[in-house]
Structure 1
Amino acid sequence: MRLQEIINDNYNRLSENDLYILKYILNHKKECCNLGINELAKKCNISRTTIFRLAKKLGFKGYSEFKFHLKWEEDQVNQEEKDYIESLYKDINETIKLTKEKDFEDICRLIYNAERVFVYGTGTAQLTVAGELKRTFLVAHKYFHVIEGYTEFEVITPSITKDDVVIFISLSGNTTSFQSCINEVSMKGINSISITNLSNNQLSRMVSHNLYVTTTPMNYKNGENYSFSMFFILIETLFRYYIKYQEEQGSKV
């Protein structure tokens, strides 16, 4: 599991000091791979005990295991060739790896038992992904309601109940544009699922379940371009797990 995903999974357990240390580490990964616990503590002006406890909170036996994981992750990045094709292959492999490590059963159960499933995409490309999600699940006779824009989301949100599920599709996980709606969904205890790029993002912390892809920006002609192909790989994977779950439920009847 990538460090960023580990942080997201344990975010609610982390203190301000923990987040400060992690921010330093994520911004200086290469340097931190070679720092001992005392050196890192000095860099962050934090006690070594605080760093040791942070490593334990993240599920490591201690700082040494944490540093080994950090170095392994950095080596994976360094081995990649920095060209467009290799970057695409890397994203495909990383996304497939994330899906293999993910237990889809809880999400499939939510969708299977949901009275209604609403899907909200935060932009044009995200809405295309939402449309494909809707189209794919029609084969399983599960209808998804695609919310076409923020205004529609505002109108629909009050009628969404605990019997429903809301799926949010966002590249960055930045919730600024629909903060009030996601707050209402969260406060009402409605089951929600985020589909985002693997990063420490606000959306993934506000929903009950997370799905991630890895997509690296392609710098071309002074602009960044993100491929949404990984989102379609994830959708196909989720659908196949859902079909499997659906068949298992049918065999129990």
Structure 2
Amino acid sequence: MSKLEYLVYQNSSKLNDSEIRVIQFILSNAKECKGLSLTELARKLYVSRSAIFRLCKHLGLSGYGELKFILNEMVQEQEQSEKNKILTNNFGSDLIKETENLVKNFQSLNLDPFFTDLSKAEHKYIYSTGWIQQMLSDYLSHELLLFGISSIVLPAAVSELEMVGKIAEKGDMLFIISYTGNNKEINDELGKFEMVNNKLRFVSFTDLKQNKLASLSDYNFYYPTVKFSSSNDVSFILAYTLVDFIINKFGIWQKEKSDKNGK
């Protein structure tokens, strides 16, 4: 409820039939009325200037000038509300669409080989290429821990990758969380691993389906990002959703394997 609508509600008992018709017209045509002078509004409504002035007084206003001021505020609030609806709807519809794509893509994956390698890996390293991806790394590490899998989250420095390449043992797993998957310096370093140390299993998380990092990886998971309607920034919410999908499926896989072995 706008301030003007509140004033009408609070003082409705003071208004006569003519004043009620006037204020109803003003509320219904606020954008037009806010630009009219007192004389122009009176002429448009076929009432006297003094009738509109009395209406303002009955509403608790100092005069027509204050009425125009709060009328202008109301129009601005309405326009901003409409803009917000558009922005929210664009983001919301894109998010729904990309969520459906994520579910469809995830359901098509055969995760048994990945889960088998994950459960066998003695050491799991998680490396990210930026601060947003670093938060996702921490989240992935936390979720893995829920199922008894500890991991080492590495700082975002190429030297950390070099260190992993030197100490990695057969079957160890390296998660790389990237945006595009096309960071040349990182991909070159991973390419060296393939030549001098093929012990590691690479698992990549990227926004793009086709990228260099994905081609280097044993397993690649694609997470779509959604652009905010009001800026060029993107939301990584579906990357977290993807992690939850993987962890949930891994828990089911563990239970099924345990049940099968128990029989």
Q: TM-score, normalised by structure 2?
A: 0.60
SS where residue 203 of structure 1 aligns? Answer: helix
Do structure 1's residue 136 and structure 2's residue 143 form an aligned pair? yes
Contact 2:91 2:226 in 1 (8 A): no
Q: Give 1:229 deviation, angstroms.
A: 0.7
- Specify whether residues 89 and 139 from structure 1 end up closer, same or farther in structure 2 by C-alpha distance, changes over 3 A only: same
Do structure 1's residue 148 and structure 2's residue 155 form an aligned pair? yes
Q: Give 1:163 deviation, angstroms.
A: 2.1
1:94-105 → structure 2 map (5 Å cutoff): 94-105=101-112
SS where residue 126 of structure 1 aligns? Answer: helix
Q: Deviations over 1:10-56 (max 9, x none)?
A: xxxxxxxxxxxxxxxxxxxxxxxxxxxxxxxxxxxxxxxxxxxxxxx
Q: Give 1:219 deviation, angstroms.
A: 5.5
Q: Give 1:243 deviation, angstroms.
A: 1.2
The correspondence for 2:204, drawn from 194, 198, 212, is: 194
Q: Deviations over 1:139-178 (max 9, x none)?
A: 1110011111213222232111222011111111113131
Paired residue total: 170
Instruction: Give the corresponding residue for 2:192.
Output: 184
Separation (CA, whole Å) in 2 of partners of 1:179 and 1:202: 7
Instruction: Give the corresponding residue for 1:174.
Output: 182
- Specify whether residues 90 and 144 from structure 1 end up closer, same or farther in structure 2 by C-alpha distance, changes over 3 A only: same
Q: Deviations over 1:83-135 (max 9, x none)?
A: 22211111212112111111111111111110111111111111111100110
Instruction: Give the corresponding residue for 1:246.
Output: 254
SS where residue 144 of structure 2 aligns? Answer: helix
Identity %: 20
User: Which of 1 and 2 has greater Rg?
Assistant: 2
Contact 1:186 1:207 in 2 (8 A): no
Contact 1:112 1:246 in 2 (8 A): no
The correspondence for 1:236, drawn from 212, 225, 244, is: 244
Where structure 2 has 5 or more consecutive residues not aligned to the other structure, the ranges are: 1-88
Q: Single out whichever of 106-115 and 173-182 deviates more from structure 2.
A: 173-182
Q: TM-score, normalised by structure 1?
A: 0.62
Instruction: Give the corresponding residue for 2:169.
Output: 161
Instruction: Give the corresponding residue for 2:234.
Output: 226
1:67-82 → structure 2 map (5 Å cutoff): none
Contact 2:187 2:213 in 1 (8 A): no
Where structure 1 has 5 or more consecutive residues not aligned to the other structure, the ranges are: 1-81
Q: Give 1:247 deviation, angstroms.
A: 1.9
